[in-house]
Structure 1
Amino acid sequence: MLPAKILGCRLVNQAKSPIASIIFFSVLMVFMLADTMICNISLEPAAFTDKEDSHILKVVRKTSSDVVVPLPLTVSRLNKIIKVDEEHRKSVPSSLSVRKEHGVRKFMRKVAEYGIFESDDLTKKFHGRVLEFFDNGCEVHFFMTWISPVESFGRRETMAVESVFKSHPNGCLTILSRTMDSVRGYRILKPLLDRGFKVTAVAPDFPFLVKNTPAEAWFNDMKSGKKDPGGIPLAQNLSNLIRLLALHKYGGVYLDTDFIVLKNFKGLKNTIGAQSIDCTSKNWTRLNNAVLVFDMNHPLVFKFIEEFALTFDGNKWGHNGPYMVSRVVGRVERRAGYNFTILPPMAFYPVDWLKIGSFFKVPKDRAGSRWVEAKVQQLKEKAYGIHLWNKQSSKLRVEEGSVMERLMAEHCVLCKNVYTS
């Protein structure tokens, strides 16, 4: 007891000095302020961390002031159910609602930015413009989509367009794009138009395209904000759907803008390509939707649209694209009434996305040069085109002497800036 009394006396005596008093009250005020901030600050969504070796789940909520507040939880080891303690239960739905509301607002801003969900005087002419354009004696009807800004339509995309006309001088290409359907978009396409090629950009009328299709309800829910758009870029999922709607309404060939055409498509009918196959059974393991060749009102395309609308998930990459077409074909390929062909990977996807970089590199020795020569010859003979997997290759430079340099030089029309991306 004596040491405590002595310490207490010392503190009292020290507090009597003016400087000590100021310090004492300053510290006191800081503690009071911090306590008030922790009690009153609003909580944002929790960040969960779970370690396999621990039976205790540590959960924190991070506030806007970077104050970490523990959130008591009960964890069932048997079925791994997480229960929030009763006193915190009400705060969880509210924070989730805020996050969802924020996501919807962000999505609606994107919708307004792209303007693709709305009809106006320009888009209402869409159907008539497409029919008029196709009434030009087209050998093959091609579609591409472009839902990014017009400024992003660069050399790589122009090369893809050129390759269409190198193999199809009498073909017609419609680029479904609001941004390309502009003065700047016209300037990009004008060099091809000046050479007599039939290419146009048309702002799509989304309400018209989805009308009387399984995607109509999906469209209305998305437009009103009732359906979660997810974290996958808006343009990617809209492109996945628009290509299907265009083929359903008009028929023809859809191509991604990172696909280089190497051979005439005239002999293809109701065709989809395999991205990968099983080495033993030779059966396909995954299909892809970067190239689609289908007649108008084909039942398989209708099934694709239906699957897109019913199983849409904006948070899983490929779920509404390559994985979607793979799911549908896996269910219907042996049923009567679905007449279509699945081509092997060499047709459209002759190089895996993990190996696409090798096509851009200059050979380092004589063996490398022989490989380039053999690969170019193989592609000429067996491939209809090559998908460039733009996400992996968009920043790669086309090196002189590479496979891509050879292909671009032989399948370009304008043949400008071949060595740029």
Structure 2
Amino acid sequence: MKRIVHTFIRLRPFSGRTLLFTLALGSIVTIVIWTFFISDVSKAKQCFQLKTTSVGDSPVSIIFFEDVLESKKRPTPGKSIFFHETSCTNDGLIHLNARQACAIESAALLNPNWDIFVLFASPVGVLNETTAQPPIVKALQSYANIFFRNINLWTYAENTPLEDWFLSDELFLSQYLNSHVSDFLRYLSLYKYGGTYLDLDVIVLRSFENMTSNYAGAESENFVAAGILNFDHDGIGHEISEMCIREFYEDFNGNDWGYNGPGVITRVLKTICHVNKPPEMTTEQCLGFKVYPPRSFYAVPWPKWYMFFDEDKYNKTMEMTKDSIAIHVWNKHSKQRKLKVGTKAAYGMIAEKNCPKVYLSTDKYF
């Protein structure tokens, strides 16, 4: 706006009439920009606000999941596993695809002593008729340690270092809103409760029971990934989680997809470890925080995501992941690839073993 006004002033001699016109033009431009800003923010916020409690003209109503902060059953500090679903829903109903449900079941199956919290940023629920529930939702509800909860973003951020920044609405102007809300929540949940965060495209292969707190996994020689994170609820784990959320808002970039997720944990670890490469981030160097090598969580790198879905790559993929604690199937790249139930591709075989109820409840494609 200043550039427009200054250009206009240079082009014409200054006079009272010119001054009034210039001021009026500046005001109009400001109003137009502010109107678009308010409109964009308002539309973005609607995704994360409570919706109708009925479905169309039908008398069937929606039973919304409890708010995680108001529920009697809340995350156990340091002993909970978190998944965050940040997609926008138009009907107020829970929507999980088979691959997301598989991630959740695998965590519950392999960690029966842990609470699995699936937190929805766009408030959702289920129909009040139990027979109408999707089969994969029923499969997940059969586990006593899986809890579906909604999040009110505004109250969830209260009394945390992210509160003032969140109220500035900068998050809602992101070009990658749903991804950046996910980044926002993964660091915030771990700051509030400690425990483990998992992406919804991760399948757990081994129990976390005997793993020492405070860890992440390198995906390459240059980056620590944010798809699997663990921070203790106190001590150095809590201190590092606080560093992460401060790094998140102080250097937030709404125009870069990965800057606020893996970028945050990578930059924080570079600071506390005083090294620049993940292979150099030893537990001793990083104040007790462990950076697992790629083979532990990201044995198949993202450029080779297809290996999970090609039957002729089965043996090679299983060999690559034989020492893995979990696998990450890079949904950003693989989501368009259909996988027929019964396939001998690695992902299908791993899913059949580690999320059996969801796999059996899936129709034709997984």
Report the TM-score range of the alignment, normalised by the length of the smaller protein. 0.7 to 0.9
Aligned to 1:330, which of 270, 294, 311?
270
> What code does the residue aligned with 1:398 have?
L
Q: What TM-score do the two structures reach when normalised by structure 1?
A: 0.66
Q: Distance in 2 between matches of 1:315 and 1:100?
A: 20
How far off is 1:255 after superposition?
A: 0.5
Question: Are residues 1:262 and 2:205 paired?
Answer: yes
Structure 1, residues 45-92: CA drift from partner, whole Å, max 9, x if none? 9xxxxxxxxxxxxxxxxxxxxxxxxxx9xxxxxxxxxx889349x679
Who is 1:272 aligned against? Answer: 216
Aligned to 2:141, which of 193, 217, 225?
193
The more displaced of 315-324 and 207-216 is 207-216
Q: Distance in 1 between matches of 2:207 and 2:329?
A: 18
How far off is 1:407 after superposition?
A: 1.0
3-state DSSP of counterpart to 2:311 = coil
What percentage of residue pairs aligned between the two structures are identical? 24
3-state DSSP of counterpart to 2:303 = coil
Who is 1:291 aligned against? Answer: 228
* Change in 2 beyond 3 A, CA 1:383/1:287: same
How far off is 1:162 after superposition?
A: 1.7
Q: Is the 8 A contact 2:176 2:255 kept in 1?
A: no
* Change in 2 beyond 3 A, CA 1:200/1:337: same
Question: Are residues 1:215 and 2:162 paired?
Answer: yes
> What code does the residue aligned with 1:105 have?
S
Q: What TM-score do the two structures reach when normalised by structure 2?
A: 0.75
Question: Are residues 1:373 and 2:315 paired?
Answer: yes
Q: Is the 8 A contact 1:176 1:201 kept in 2?
A: yes
Root-mean-square deviation (CA, aligned residues, Å) is 3.4
Who is 1:177 aligned against? Answer: 120
Q: Distance in 1 between matches of 2:117 and 2:261?
A: 21
Q: Distance in 2 between matches of 1:418 and 1:374?
A: 28
> What code does the residue aligned with 2:166 have?
F
Q: Distance in 1 between matches of 2:66 and 2:365?
A: 37
Q: Is the 8 A contact 1:144 1:174 kept in 2?
A: yes
Q: Distance in 1 between matches of 2:215 and 2:121?
A: 28
Q: Is the 8 A contact 1:244 1:304 kept in 2?
A: yes
- Structure 1 gap segments, 5+ residues each: 1-44, 46-71, 73-82, 117-121, 278-284
* Change in 2 beyond 3 A, CA 1:274/1:336: closer
Q: Distance in 1 between matches of 2:37 and 2:325?
A: 41
Q: Distance in 2 between matches of 1:221 and 1:112?
A: 16
How far off is 1:286 after superposition?
A: 0.5
Q: Distance in 1 between matches of 2:184 and 2:127?
A: 25
Choose 1 or 2 for highest CA Rg. 1
> What code does the residue aligned with 1:193 have?
Q
Q: Is the 8 A contact 2:107 2:204 kept in 1?
A: yes
How far off is 1:323 after superposition?
A: 1.1
Question: Are residues 1:115 and 2:33 paired?
Answer: no
- Structure 2 gap segments, 5+ residues each: 13-21, 51-63, 275-283
Q: Is the 8 A contact 1:139 1:171 kept in 2?
A: no
Who is 1:351 aligned against? Answer: 300
Q: Is the 8 A contact 2:174 2:180 kept in 1?
A: no
Who is 1:145 aligned against? Answer: 84
Aligned to 2:259, which of 312, 319, 323?
319
Q: Distance in 2 between matches of 1:167 and 1:124?
A: 25
How far off is 1:310 after superposition?
A: 0.9
Structure 1, residues 280-337: CA drift from partner, whole Å, max 9, x if none? xxxxx11111111111141111000001111112112211111122111111124999
* Change in 2 beyond 3 A, CA 1:409/1:256: same
Q: Distance in 2 between matches of 1:409 and 1:353?
A: 22
Structure 1, residues 90-140: CA drift from partner, whole Å, max 9, x if none? 679965873564244122212023218xxxxx89953242x62556xx994
How far off is 1:228 after superposition?
A: 6.9
- Map 1:219-230; keep pairs closer than 5 Å: 219-222=166-169, 227=170, 229-230=172-173
* Change in 2 beyond 3 A, CA 1:228/1:346: closer
Q: Distance in 2 between matches of 1:111 and 1:300?
A: 29
Question: Are residues 1:161 and 2:85 paired?
Answer: no
> What code does the residue aligned with 2:365 have?
T
